[in-house]
Amino acid sequence: MQNVYLPLQLPLQMAPSSLSQSILPNWSFNLFNVNVGASSNAAVEQEALQTVGSYGKQIGHLAEALEVVIGQLKLLEDRALSQKDKDSLRIFLGDISAIRKIKTSYA
């Protein structure tokens, strides 16, 4: 926090020499913070964001499509996959399920 010192010296020294007050410490306010990074074609990326949707929306579509693929291929039952791989898929599917619950609670 930045201190502001005002010359508030009264003849009888009744006022303090400095006035400061913390208002909502450890809090910040940002409307937008978008960093698209080093894009090979920023115009295409901007148009995709405006017409297709946000990165979150695009990732959501990918996640839902992967959920279908995992289910159709019965990958959790596949003996060729290691237990670690199956665990990774279960975690992924759990994340999709949790997000779906959050979405329905806001609907």
Secondary structure of residue 4 in the 3-state scheme? strand
Q: Which of 106, 92, 105 is nearest to 60 (CA)?
A: 92
Q: For 17-83, give the DSSP string.
A: S-B---SSTT----S------S-S-HHHHHHHHHHT--HHHHHHHHHHHHHHHHHHTTGGG-TTS-H
Q: Quick one: pLDDT band at residue 84, thresholds 50, 70, 90?
A: very high
Provide the whole-model pTM: 0.60
Q: Quick one: pLDDT band at residue 107, thresholds 50, 70, 90?
A: confident
At 27-77, the pLDDT tens digits run: 666 666 556 567 788 889 889 989 999 989 999 999 999 999 999 999 999
Taking the mean position of all CA atoms in its chain, how far away is CA 19?
37
Average pLDDT of the residues of the chain: 82
